[in-house]
Amino acid sequence: MLVIFFLGALLSPSLVPPPGARVDAVQDAAPADDPDRLYADRENVASAARAAAIWEERLAADPASFESAWKLSRICYWLGGHVGPDARRHQYERGIDAGKQATMIEPNRPEGSFWMAASMGALAESFGLRAGLRYRGAIKDALEMVLNIDPSFQEGSADRALGRWYHKVPGLFGGSNSKSVEHLRRALTYNPDSTISHFFLAETLLDMNRRAEAREAFQKVLDAPLHPEWVPEDREFKQRAQAALARLQ
């Protein structure tokens, strides 16, 4: 499965993180040999890259390590959104491969299917219609598999991702804003304060010209408390919601 991708390549000058990203020395944030601690410090791009390298090394040493596979998939999804554009596709493809390996190791666990679908979806959104059409069926199948295994996984993350899928896929290929709203509202039953679910719901409502409801959903992103496990993601979606509300004034 895995494409070997050394830490030095991840941190090369061509992969300059976006403005505002933390690039402190890894040892200032977390022990250099503890990938879970490094993942918790993922706003530091160097920490995220080191965590990926460790999980990749562990998976190479033990190809049956489910934990290494799905956690590698998860961190590659994060890296795909926080490295330079030249490396983005590679990180998402790396995450897809790791997620696939996790599903082969433990087909009845949701982690591999979910994070594989996440990287597929991000790749599709980042690289246009051709990538979207290539992955649309596989994304939906993987997320529906998660729902079959455990609909409560990560506080309704599969419903949230399916809500995004129905919003982004053209109607000709199965997209539906009404189904998007249905899945996103279902996701919010697991965590009514989910910044990501409220943000995705707001974007769908905006496309439906339900501007007042969209403003309300964006405001809920700003009002939600930071989730202890998803602080970096919450911060980013709060920034995006603030910008969206400013545009709606």
Tell me the CATH number at 193.
1.25.40.10
248 and 144 belong to one structural domain: no
- Residue 23: the pLDDT is 39
Cα separation, 22 vs 214, whole angstroms: 31
Helix, strand, coil distribution of the chain in percent, nearest 5: 75, 0, 25
Assigned domain for 18 exists: yes
Q: What are phi and psi of 170, to 5 degrees?
A: -60, 150
41 and 135 belong to one structural domain: yes
Q: What end-to-end distance do the CA atoms of the chain give, in Å?
A: 48
- Residue 182: the pLDDT is 98
- Residue 7: the pLDDT is 29
101 and 192 belong to one structural domain: no
194 and 102 belong to one structural domain: no
Contact present, 210 and 198 (Cβ < 8 Å) = no
**How many other C-beta atoms lie within 10 A of the C-beta of residue 13?**
6
Cα separation, 22 vs 203, whole angstroms: 28
Residues of the chain with pLDDT under 50: 1-29
Count of CA atoms in the C-beta half-sphere (13 A) of 203:
20
26 and 98 belong to one structural domain: yes
- Domain housing 88: 1-150
- Residue 97: the pLDDT is 98
- Residue 3: the pLDDT is 28
- Residue 127: the pLDDT is 78
Contact present, 99 and 69 (Cβ < 8 Å) = yes
For 212, the token pair is 């007042």
- What is the helix (H) or strand (E) element at residue 120, kind and residue range? helix 110-126
- Residue 249: the pLDDT is 84
Comparing C-alpha atoms, which of 217, 193, 194 is closest to residue 204? 217
Could you please report the per-residue DSSP string of 68-105? HHHHHHHHHHHHHTTS-HHHHHHHHHHHHHHHHHHHHH
Comparing C-alpha atoms, which of 146, 191, 192 is closest to residue 165? 146
Cα separation, 30 vs 196, whole angstroms: 26
Question: How many residues in the chain?
Answer: 249
- Residue 132: the pLDDT is 67
52 and 139 belong to one structural domain: yes
72 and 8 belong to one structural domain: yes
Count up the domains in the chain and report the number.
2
- Residue 129: the pLDDT is 64
For 206, the token pair is 């905006």
Give the tens place of pLDDT for each residue, 26-83: 344 456 789 999 999 999 999 999 999 999 999 999 999 999 999 999 999 999 999 9
